[in-house]
């Protein structure tokens, strides 16, 4: 069993522990710290992570729904093989939903919302310049979440809520690719320009192009069984 210790766990509010456990387990599965076929025993995971079995059990049930693990009676949870098809399905959906958000943002975002995106990009550049990968990664994810505000009150918004954690964790893996931070900042800058100039078509096109770029880097970082699809 790899070391699955969660940093700062002792200082975390108890209601948040289940989310931290879920995020850490998903990251371990996606990065293959927990490779396909690994039996996930609740007691072993609880000891490794320094938590009770309850948040472990809740995380595994959630991961089964997301097709990251299989849970069988009397056998417990087993890590599934993540295929290119699995990732392609998720990123196809991400591309559609976030492209929609970018289009809406170009039509509806006011000066204050545009400025928040602009300040996020500036802060991201500063974080990369000082080689602060933790802050840079968080800021890049914040840009996506700011963009998601364009879908508030729309059904797309609720779909994005369901995907946000998985997308954020997969993006964390993709960010290991050389030049990924710089590429994402440049791509975000292009999306922002289309939003500011009120060009919905270009905003959607550039956002979808950005998602495809992240997906390509993700494939380079994860060992997969089948060959990449076009």
Calculate mean pLDDT across residues 54-78: 88
**34 HSE (CA, 13 A, CB side):** 23
Confidence check: pLDDT of 1 > 80: no
Q: Round to whole Å and give the CA distance between 207 and 187.
A: 8
Q: What integer pLDDT is reported at residue 225 of this predicted model?
A: 52
Banded model confidence at residue 6, pLDDT cuts 50, 70, 90: low
CA-wise closest residue to 18 among 64, 55, 65, 57:
55
Mean pLDDT estimate for the chain: 85
Calculate mean pLDDT across residues 85-101: 89
Q: What integer pLDDT is reported at residue 3 of this predicted model?
A: 61
Which of the pair, 86 or 96, is modelled with greater confidence?
96
Query: Hey, what CATH class is 84-221 in?
Result: mainly alpha
- Domain ranges in the chain with CATH number 1.20.120.530: 84-221
Confidence check: pLDDT of 226 > 60: no
CA-wise closest residue to 22 among 62, 79, 81:
62
Q: Round to whole Å and give the CA distance between 143 and 130.
A: 19
174 in Cβ contact with 218 (< 8 Å): yes
106, 109, 114, 116 alpha-carbon torsion, rounded to 10°: -130
151 in Cβ contact with 84 (< 8 Å): no
Banded model confidence at residue 154, pLDDT cuts 50, 70, 90: confident
CA-wise closest residue to 168 among 124, 138, 125:
138
Calculate mean pLDDT across residues 183-192: 98
Query: Hey, what CATH class is 9-79 in?
Result: mainly alpha
Q: What integer pLDDT is reported at residue 230 of this predicted model?
A: 37
Residues with Cβ < 8 Å from 214, sequence gap 6 or more? 91, 171, 174, 180, 184
- Domain ranges in the chain with CATH number 1.10.10.10: 9-79
Which residue carries 């975000």 as its tokens?
188
CA-wise closest residue to 120 among 179, 185, 206:
185
Which of 21-30, 45-54, 125-134, 157-166 has the lowest average pLDDT?
157-166
130-135 contacts at long range (C-beta below 8 A, 24 or more positions apart): 133/175, 133/181
């Amino acid at each position: 069993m790899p070391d699955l210790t969660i940093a700062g766990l002792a200082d975390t509010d108890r209601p948040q522990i289940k989310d931290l456990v879920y995020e850490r387990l998903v990251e371990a599965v996606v990065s293959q710290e927990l490779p396909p076929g690994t039996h996930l025993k609740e007691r072993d995971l609880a000891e490794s992570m320094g938590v009770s079995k309850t948040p472990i059990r809740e995380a595994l049930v959630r991961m089964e729904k997301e097709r990251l693990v299989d849970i069988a009676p009397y056998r417990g949870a087993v890590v599934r093989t993540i295929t290119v098809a699995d990732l392609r399905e998720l990123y196809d959906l991400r591309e559609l939903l976030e492209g929609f958000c970018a289009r809406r943002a170009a039509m509806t975002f006011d000066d204050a919302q545009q400025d928040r995106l602009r300040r996020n990009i500036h802060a991201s550049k500063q974080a990369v310049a000082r080689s602060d990968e933790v802050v840079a990664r968080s800021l890049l994810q914040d840009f996506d979440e700011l963009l998601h505000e364009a879908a508030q009150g729309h059904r797309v918004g609720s779909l994005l809520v369901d995907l946000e954690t998985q997308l954020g964790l997969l993006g964390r893996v993709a960010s290991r690719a050389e030049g990924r931070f710089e590429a994402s900042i440049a791509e975000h800058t292009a999306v922002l320009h289309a939003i500011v100039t009120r060009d919905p078509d270009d905003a959607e096109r550039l956002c979808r192009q950005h998602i495809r770029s992240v997906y390509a880097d993700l494939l380079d970082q994860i060992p997969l069984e089948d060959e990449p699809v076009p």
